[in-house]
Chain A
């Protein structure tokens, strides 16, 4: 009888613990900030609604500094960093070329595929993730090799969480034998110490997307978001905690679309483009006061600017850069999505050809006297126009966020 009573007590204590856990889960869900995205409110937005001012930076264009497609951009106090041509290009904040780190190869200090990079401002070092070589290499700012961490993960993106830990996002890559989870926390020896978000078997066949960005710094933490998911997580002390929820309301993609199996990624995407649902959240950037991301709706890419302070948002299908090209519509797209955020600035890239094309269109719209006045009022911009050719490096548009 005594044993029976002990057993009942153990069961009661266990049940109480479970109930506490459930309560804490409920509280977590209650604390999630909701970003409501109403597709009917997609609109044309002037830059002056989003930014206090903008600044143009022309990047130096010599043969050695000429970049191909830019996969990722990072910014700090005095430098721009670009991932392109399997290399890291570093420019000053004024656009002067500083150096290029290009160590492709199979030898010591080299990498096979430059998949992502992380600027460690605290330690003045640069980490480069080689997904095919399954390692993270550390270099100093001059590209001198410092250290290598072998990680048995072929993924898309990574970030440094603290002195001894990294987070690696592998998408739905099925060829990873060591993990079947999208997000993996690894230690400084490259060992996987935590796994989050299980890859579903059907997704492993078709859901292969690089997301432009998966990790963003905020306050003292790291935010995490991946496409075909509407929750922004924070990674803290080896845990991931839902932090914000992107609520598409009646345009939310039903789970049945994600549970099916598709022949390939194209078949999957094409079937979604025929619906009225919002899908593929991509290009997620977080500054001190705002969050920017985009999503696909039919064949379009719609941008969202959300203020963490006022909780207001702009859902943008068309921009007007009224600081530089008044009355010229710029349709929201991958190319004009911000590529980086730093403090309360967002950084967008514009190809030299597009810049020249916009200026030409503006000139065609204006009368002779209007154009002459525009030149006087925009001396710096006009000087960039005069000195730029269509195959030069792109321009950087630095937008200082306003309190919308």
Chain B
């Protein structure tokens, strides 16, 4: 074959390769977005399928009693100079308590508090209290001002309840007048329905 022919073939191949590369780059973004959207859809579907099973399992899991706090001297704060014993707040009533964990970020507790507020407003239940780390009291106070939320809250020191889960996960529990902790529940921020179910169950059973 003549040199000229080789050159022509090389040039044609170069042009084809350039066009192919250009088209692949343009198509790449679309393909990637489609792939990720599909992945996201699959994840949501999986999550919905699990909800039914979860509700049943969850209802069953609520039947257990837990720790006795009656012997512990747990002090809560309303201000720098105003501390109050947890026992005296519980008094002669049974209470639902939401403990905001020591290392929580606001994103994790906002949604749960909104649910709790809806529940509180709807039922006009006074027997709910929130325990918040002392260094997050300002944030909760400010957030409650914004939300126009009146649920009473108290500051608590690190690991103040000593239930072993105070640090990382916010949790609910029910405490009766004898200071027995029952029905500990850790809400999942991706599964806000589970918090709704928990509150409904607590309502049906105790309020």
Residues of A within 8 A of B33 (CB): 174, 177, 180
Q: Once the chains bind, are B32 and A391 in contact (CB under 8 Å)?
A: no
Q: Which of B106, B138, B145 is within 8 Å of A394, CB to CB?
A: B138
How far apart are A139's CB and chain B's nearest CB, in angstroms?
20
Interface residue? B207 (CB, 8 A): no
| Contact status of A67 and B142, CB under 8 A, knowing A3-B7, A4-B7, A390-B80 | yes
Q: Which of A66, A68, A174, A392 is within 8 Å of B106, CB to CB?
A: A68
Q: Which of A1, A84, A353 is within 8 Å of B134, CB to CB?
A: A353
How far apart are B34's CB and chain A's nearest CB, in angstroms?
10
Complex-state Cα separation, A36 to B35, whole angstroms? 39
Q: Once the chains bind, are A66 and B142 in contact (CB under 8 Å)?
A: yes
Q: Once the chains bind, are A389 and B80 in contact (CB under 8 Å)?
A: yes
Q: Once the chains bind, are A201 and B36 in contact (CB under 8 Å)?
A: yes
Q: Once the chains bind, are A66 and B134 in contact (CB under 8 Å)?
A: no
Q: Once the chains bind, are B32 and A201 in contact (CB under 8 Å)?
A: yes
| Contact status of A68 and B32, CB under 8 A, knowing A4-B7, A390-B77 | no
Interface residue? A113 (CB, 8 A): no
Interface residue? A351 (CB, 8 A): yes
Residue ID in chain B nearest A84 by CB atoms: B142
Q: Once the chains bind, are A180 and B79 in contact (CB under 8 Å)?
A: no
Majority SS at the chain B contact face: helix
Residues of B within 8 A of A4 (CB): 3-4, 7
Q: Once the chains bind, are B143 and A356 in contact (CB under 8 Å)?
A: no
C-beta contact mask, B141-165 vs A, less than 8 Å → 1, else 0? 1110110000000010000000000
Q: Which of B79, B106, B134 is within 8 Å of A69, CB to CB?
A: B106
Q: Once the chains bind, are A354 and B135 in contact (CB under 8 Å)?
A: yes
Residues of A within 8 A of B7 (CB): 3-4, 7
Q: Once the chains bind, are A180 and B138 in contact (CB under 8 Å)?
A: no
Residues of B within 8 A of A388 (CB): 80
Residue ID in chain A nearest B143 by CB atoms: A68
Q: Which of A67, A174, A177 is within 8 Å of B138, CB to CB?
A: A67
Interface residue? B39 (CB, 8 A): yes
Q: Once the chains bind, are B145 and A66 in contact (CB under 8 Å)?
A: yes
A interface residue count range (under 10 / 10 to 19 / 20 to 34 / 35 or more): 20 to 34
Interface residue? B139 (CB, 8 A): yes
Interface residue? A240 (CB, 8 A): no
Complex-state Cα separation, A390 to B142, whole angstroms? 13
Within A58-79, the residues touching B (CB, 8 Å) are 63, 66-69
Interface residue? B137 (CB, 8 A): yes
Q: Once the chains bind, are A389 and B135 in contact (CB under 8 Å)?
A: no
C-beta contact mask, A20-40 vs B, less than 8 Å → 1, else 0? 000000000000000000000
Complex-state Cα separation, A390 to B79, whole angstroms? 6
C-beta contact mask, A353-368 vs B, less than 8 Å → 1, else 0? 1101100000000000
Q: Once the chains bind, are B146 and A85 in contact (CB under 8 Å)?
A: yes
Within B65-92, the residues touching A (CB, 8 Å) are 77, 79-80
Q: Which of A66, A67, A69, A174 has the most CB of B within 10 A?
A: A69
Q: Once the chains bind, are A180 and B135 in contact (CB under 8 Å)?
A: no
How far apart are B27's CB and chain A's nearest CB, in angstroms?
12
Question: Can you give 9 contacting A-B residue pairs, CB < 8 Å?
Answer: A66-B141, A66-B145, A69-B139, A180-B33, A351-B138, A352-B138, A356-B80, A390-B79, A390-B138
Listed in ascending order, the chain B residues whose CB lies under 8 Å from chain A are 3-4, 7, 28-29, 32-33, 35-36, 39-40, 77, 79-80, 105-106, 134-135, 137-139, 141-143, 145-146, 155
Considering the complex of A and B, which 10 residue pairs feature the smallest CB-CB distances, nearest first? Answer: A68-B142, A391-B137, A174-B36, A353-B135, A391-B138, A69-B106, A68-B139, A66-B142, A351-B135, A353-B134
Further contacts, 20 of them, CB under 8 A, given A354-B135, A390-B134? A66-B141, A67-B142, A68-B106, A68-B139, A68-B142, A69-B106, A84-B142, A85-B142, A85-B146, A174-B32, A175-B36, A201-B32, A205-B39, A353-B134, A353-B137, A353-B155, A390-B77, A390-B155, A391-B79, A393-B138
